[in-house]
Amino acid sequence: MKAVGVINYGGPEALEVVELPTPEAGLGQVRIRVRAAAVSPTDTHVRAGTRAEQQAKTGPPPYVPGMDVAGVVDQIGEGAETDLQVGDHVMAIVVPRGSHGAYSQYVALPAGSLARMPSGATFAEASTLPMNGLTARLSLDQLALQPGQTLAVTGAAGCYGGYVVELAKADGLRVIADASEADEELVASMGADVVVRRGPDVADRIREHAPDGVDGLADGSVQMEPLVSAVRDGGGFASVRGWPGNGERGIDFHVTWVFDYATDHSRLDGLRQQAEDGRVSLRVAGTVPMERASEAHARLEAGGTRGRWVIEF
């Protein structure tokens, strides 16, 4: 099969089409004929070699990035606990390891990592939901706020932040979200109750609308410590970059690793239902064929992307 991977680390041009053995659906697995794979910032780290030491432990290159796919079920392994059938259109989250990544014509995954695509969605649209949607769901589950409580979301125009806003509103929370001037209308359309201007002093602007501090904060902008002052004593803070927090004022700091939900079919299928109900959005910035995957990486790294670039196979 063909895949998009990196043999020599570098910029977007380091991505190339490679030949790999077609995987078989093993015990408890389902194989997907991939039609679309979304591009995320994590993928650029794989390509650039910022995690080269860990990747070297998985074996020799090529290293194939990608954590989100949508496609068609074409093989079901023995013992797979699923009601899916060959031919079903599905989306899935991929935990990349070595040459096993989403940028592939075929990928074999644990049955729990798959769910049906939202009705009416294209393959490209469906591929944007699993990883970021599950990450947002995990952050909210960790913060465990109750309806009526207030959540602050930074990086709200991004994919993670946008899903946090939408899912938080579905959970009955009051949401204060940040945005640049250009993104204010977008973030408001996601349901944010209050939109404040993004920037290094965003914590102060959040406090203007929550004088005692917010009950929880989801740090999509990855500012970390400068945002802690926006949270009330004993509140919660969710980090997507592994920051354990500073322990101040009894705040409960959570590290959100989406791998914890990577085989949680029920939550992934819940996102499918919410997409069908119009509670979460599927945003595609653009699509490219696999031979032009480098363009998607270049566009992402240039900044300002709203939605996900998608590689089509």
Each domain of the chain, given as residue ranges in start order, spans 2-129+282-312, 132-259
State the pairing for strand pair 89-93/252-255. Answer: unpaired
**What integer pLDDT is reported at residue 51 of this predicted model?**
86
Quick: pLDDT tens for 158-206.
Answer: 999 999 999 999 999 999 999 999 999 999 999 999 999 999 999 999 9
Which residues have a Cβ under 8 Å from the Cβ of 128 and sit 6 or more positions away?
A: 38, 68, 159, 282, 283, 284, 307, 308, 310
Q: Indicate if the pLDDT at residue 272 is higher than 90.
A: yes
Closest CA to 90 of 127, 54, 60, 57: 127
Instruction: Count Cα atoms within 13 angstroms, Cβ side, for 194.
Output: 18
**What integer pLDDT is reported at residue 52 of this predicted model?**
87
Q: Indicate if the pLDDT at residue 91 is higher than 90.
A: yes
Quick: pLDDT tens for 230-251.
Answer: 999 999 999 999 999 999 999 9
The dotted CATH code for 132-259 is 3.40.50.720
In CATH, 2-129+282-312 is 3.40.50.1820: no
Q: Indicate if the pLDDT at residue 13 is higher than 90.
A: yes
Q: Do domains 2-129+282-312 and 132-259 have the same CATH topology?
A: no
Query: Average of pLDDT values for 133-159?
Result: 98
Closest CA to 4 of 127, 105, 108, 103: 103
Neighbours of 196 (CB within 10 A): 23
Q: Determine the Cα–Cα distance for residues 99 and 97; give it in Å rounded to an integer.
A: 6
**What integer pLDDT is reported at residue 3 of this predicted model?**
98
**What integer pLDDT is reported at residue 183 of this predicted model?**
97
Percentage of the chain exceeding pLDDT 90: 97
pLDDT band at residue 39, thresholds of 50, 70 and 90? Answer: very high
